[in-house]
A and B are shown apart, each in its own frame.
Chain A
Amino acid sequence: MPETLPENSVGLVTPQTYTFDEPLVLASGRSLDHYELVVETYGELNAQKSNAVLICHALSGNHHAAGYHSMDDHKPGWWDAYIGPNKPMDTNKFFIVSLNNIGGCHGSTGPQTLNPATGKPWGADFPNLRVRDWVHSQARLADKLGIEKWAAVVGGSLGGMQAMRWALEYPDRIQHCVVIASAMRLTAQNIAFNHAAREAILTDPDFHGGNYQQNDTLPIRGLSTARVIAHLTYLSDDGMDKKFGRDLRSGSFQQGSEDLVEFQIESYLRYQADSFSKVFDANTYVLMTRALDYFDLAREYNNDPVAALKNALCKFLIISFTSDWRFSPERSKQMVNALIRADKDVVYGKVNSQFGHDAFLIPNQQRYWDLFNRYMKKIEVND
């Protein structure tokens, strides 16, 4: 918990709820007649409304990207290291908007909220979502905020996919597209990991086909296991070894002893999974991993990413991390190559990092900071 707020923090922030009553037709064909989005903003919107930056969150993220909700918070928002005064997403320059996507479990309309048609929580009946549904809901949010064009749409991982989708769906409304540790679509291996995580949830006896709220249960074990599976794919072999090695949390290998040993890595994963399963919703997890699996930037363009990206009008910054094996640098390079073929402006940086896929969230990585910072500094916002 911070006794005083760090100087380069956006400080104390309060989420706002925005209500939308115009039906949102989803890619699935169903529609949400009414929905709410929980939003945080940092910095000030300028008079020309030309300095707005949209942050799109990844799988387990939400609207709380920077700052603290209260002086009792033990940690800041999930991207605090890179959002704030004089940080790459500089709040002295930009007005930053971060939201919890629909389908989320941190206040925006999702499986936990009440379905107005039944008066019960949506649960398993919440509509399937695609990345484009989030992008459309974000465009409505931009309308509400009076933002005609984002100076940048920025996202890591699943957030990067939203940023890419923005570039194709609303080419006139985005000036820069920043895609970090992401890919134009998942590989079979990515989908396999998501499948394993979902299986853990779906087979938990407390899941009740997704209607656990009505049954007064929570599929804690399934969600924890799903989180462990996902977490493993976010870390790198080298990084885990440096941080945990084969260190023991308890027990010993002494011969003649039958005591079970617990490795530090086991204890860490268990702790992370436990805390995650208390704050995250299993239905949201299933829904968001499916959106990830379905995402394919070029599907409607004859599977030709060049044809897809020709529709973009913005400039691109693509960043990858060397030890990210979930979305490896090669996946980013595929996007860069397609952008070059499509004759689009693109900057690509590959950051040496041991932090695996998680690297985009990890503070104090100078190279990542420099690339991100210099690029964002070059963005012109006229007032």
Chain B
Amino acid sequence: MRIDHTIIESWVKPNSRVLDLGCGDGSLLKSLHERKNIHGYGIEINSENILRSIENGINVIEQDLDKGLSDYDDQSFDTVVMSQTIQTMQYPDLVLHEMLRIGRQCIVTFPNFGHWKARWHLVINGKMPVSDLLPYEWYNTPNIHFCTFRDFETLCEAHNLTTLNREVIGSGAIGSALQKFHPNLFGVTALYRLTK
């Protein structure tokens, strides 16, 4: 099981209602259903991911997140998750607001643009980082709103969002050890649990 999924799972109440924005192949919802008996829905736009979600037996709704979430009622879910997707959104701040309107809590995970490799790439090569972590060129990346952990926390503060938990995942053993000492430099993925 993916480490980020394990962390998310620990933050989700059993038997609760979960909405997963950008649910990918549905594996997170599937394991949440199997292990925590949640009732979940995933929203996805990628056609291949939708088919894989169907195979995973989850409720998947084809919908473009950038067109808004006004279909969903206030506080109608216990948890709204957005895993590795917020950086692809046109208006990440509005999405965050919507997530906390719909859900009592939200869980956001994203890749850290403040990771040393990204910084190193830009400083040394003078080019946007392309790596196994960020395998796109600047012109074809779906990731249009990169941020660092620090940027994200500034946004949360400005909007008076309360951080209930934060976890940082490093890469490899050394990265994992170092991220404790300087998460913004050595963390690859950040996970936040937020509420209003």
Tell me the complex Cα distance, A103–B69, Å: 43
In the complex, chain A residues whose CB is within 8 Å of the CB of B54 = 347, 371, 374-375, 378
Which of A337, A340, A346 has most B Cβ within 10 Å? A340
B62 interface residue, CB < 8 Å from A? yes
B196 interface residue, CB < 8 Å from A? no
A349 interface residue, CB < 8 Å from B? yes
Is there an interface contact between A346 and B55, defined as CB atoms closer than 8 Å? no
A247 interface residue, CB < 8 Å from B? no
* Interface size bracket, B side: 10 to 19
Count of chain A residues with Cβ under 8 Å from any Cβ of B? 19
Tell me the complex Cα distance, A371–B51, Å: 6
In the complex, chain B residues whose CB is within 8 Å of the CB of A343 = 17, 39
In the complex, chain A residues whose CB is within 8 Å of the CB of B53 = 347
Tell me the complex Cα distance, A374–B76, Å: 29
Interface of A, secondary structure class, is: helix
B41 interface residue, CB < 8 Å from A? yes
In the complex, chain A residues 336-376 whose Cβ is within 8 Å of any chain B Cβ: 336-337, 340-341, 343, 345-350, 367, 370-371, 374-375
Q: CB-CB contacts of B28-56 with A at 8 A, as 1s and 0s? A: 00000000000101000001001101110
In the complex, chain A residues 196-241 whose Cβ is within 8 Å of any chain B Cβ: none
Q: CB-CB contacts of B42-79 with A at 8 A, as 1s and 0s? A: 00000100110111010111110000000111001000
Is there an interface contact between A346 and B59, defined as CB atoms closer than 8 Å? yes
Which residue from A341, A346, A348, A367 sits with its C-beta under 8 Å from B47?
A: A367
A333 interface residue, CB < 8 Å from B? yes
Tell me the complex Cα distance, A377–B55, Å: 8
Tell me the complex Cα distance, A375–B59, Å: 11
Tell me the complex Cα distance, A182–B116, Å: 53
Which residue from B50, B57, B62, B71 sits with its C-beta under 8 Å from A378?
A: B57
**Which residue in chain B gives the minimum CB-CB distance to A367?**
B47
In the complex, chain A residues whose CB is within 8 Å of the CB of B71 = 333, 337
Is there an interface contact between B73 and A348, defined as CB atoms closer than 8 Å? no
Is there an interface contact between B62 and A341, defined as CB atoms closer than 8 Å? no
How far is the CB of B45 from the nearest CB of chain A, in Å?
Answer: 10
Tell me the complex Cα distance, A367–B46, Å: 12
Is there an interface contact between B73 and A341, defined as CB atoms closer than 8 Å? yes
Which residue from A347, A370, A377 sits with its C-beta under 8 Å from B59?
A: A347
In the complex, chain B residues whose CB is within 8 Å of the CB of A336 = 61
Which of A337, A349, A378 has most B Cβ within 10 Å? A349
Tell me the complex Cα distance, A371–B49, Å: 11
A-B pairs with beta carbons under 8 Å apart, 13 shown: A340-B41, A340-B72, A341-B76, A345-B59, A348-B62, A349-B50, A370-B51, A374-B51, A374-B54, A375-B54, A377-B55, A378-B54, A378-B57
Binding site for A on B (CB under 8 A): 17, 39, 41, 47, 50-51, 53-55, 57, 59-63, 71-73, 76
Given contacts A346-B61, A347-B53, 14 further A-B contacts (CB under 8 A): A333-B71, A336-B61, A340-B41, A340-B59, A340-B72, A343-B39, A347-B59, A347-B60, A348-B63, A370-B51, A371-B54, A374-B51, A374-B54, A378-B57
